[in-house]
A = this chain, B = another copy of it.
């Protein structure tokens, strides 16, 4: 079944409004194994709308039109469909009755502008709107079922669930056994991952679709099967892939790094604290964005200046003078200060140069020292993550939390970024 979407609205074309309705339609259909193949967006102009309706009806089995059902002059869906299907606009009794009830319930007078919402192509069937004033309508053109739906998300959703989806599901010749697994992965780039899969699983079956989505700093990996046979096959291949990815898997189904860390801390009844310089509170903020983080998070200290590193974290001033704020010694001292003050079981300290200013030949923008662990065992690393301030800060935060996560899962492997992103004089560009 070829399903397409046609979205109308000047505000969608101009970018004043970001379209989320089409994502909602696609997700609702997908939950029932139905996929949307194509999506077109046009302005509120009559002739382009008519043309698009005709063209799309020639290639689609089902066309869901969204928007343009309102009472104002720029709402043109009914008029365009009337013209495309050569079916004159008439007042539909069922729609008029709905409007009358809707207005009466709210103490409004039914005015001419409202009545326009009942002036629809003669050949169409009405789709009830249990929430708003605009009824939907349905009409067949070129053997394509065209459903016209309102732009208000909650009204669209009700119409989808109550009428459109049940109709579509009934028409599906075969029940689709679709199953999706989503993993959030950190520390392997999209291209490296693709290559690893290609090399280690050259016989990966076509029936298990692989999808990748980079959403900085995590990468989402999606495995889709579309039949019962493929679903069984997927279970086995999924295990192999899981073994390959190992500790790079952060979680599944919209997990975030902070959520995983908070969950692990809570399970292990451990408390965490953080001392931040270059990330400026981002790590604390990510942790505390998770509901329930107060059970595991003690304190975050953003010591932006040397003086504050001394005053808040007890970093020795002579040490700062001797080694500088961005140094292994300072990172360790910040970590020890954080642990001592908070009494946390685990802590993380970061100090680096976020840029765009403040870099030098020896300590360039993008250089960062991390220290993590507890009073008994402290680890450190120095990484080089050049790029914009925003990416630097978010990448450092993700790596810092990943290092904490790896302690909590008792990781036995070293993450790739520790070697690949290690700061060494050789990956510095020559000074100008």
Contacts and interface: CB of A to CB of B under 8 A. Distances in A.
Interface string A274-317: 00100111111101110111100111111111011001100000
Nearest to A41: B39
A172 interface: no
Contact of A18 (B20, B106, B210, B355): B20
Interface in A15-36: 15-20, 22-27, 30, 35-36
A40 interface: yes
B294 A358 contact: yes
Given A108-B420, A154-B388, A312-B312, A281 B302 contact: yes
Contacts of A297: 280, 304
A11 B213 contact: yes
List of 8 A-B pairs having minimum Cβ-Cβ separation, nearest first? A280-B288, A281-B284, A15-B26, A300-B302, A15-B23, A71-B191, A281-B281, A113-B191
Interface string A172-190: 0000000000000000001
Contacts of A211: 10-11, 16, 74
Nearest to A389: B291
Interface string A156-176: 000000000000000000000
B300 A281 contact: yes
Interface stretch (A76-84, A87-95, A421-429): A421-429
A293 to B, nearest CB: 7
B195 A111 contact: yes
Nearest to A213: B11
A282 B19 CA distance: 26
DSSP class of A's interface residues: helix, strand, loop or mixed?
mixed
Contact of A37 (B48, B108, B194, B389): B48
A107 interface: yes
21 contacts: A10-B211, A16-B23, A16-B222, A18-B23, A37-B48, A38-B48, A41-B41, A70-B190, A71-B194, A72-B194, A105-B386, A105-B427, A106-B386, A106-B420, A280-B293, A281-B302, A299-B303, A299-B305, A302-B302, A307-B343, A312-B341
Interface string A59-103: 000000000001111100000000000000000000000000000
A192 interface: yes
Contacts of A114: 191
Given A70-B214, A106-B420, A299-B301, 20 more contacts: A10-B211, A13-B36, A15-B26, A17-B213, A18-B19, A22-B41, A70-B212, A71-B194, A74-B210, A104-B427, A105-B386, A106-B421, A154-B390, A281-B282, A288-B304, A289-B390, A298-B307, A301-B301, A301-B302, A311-B341
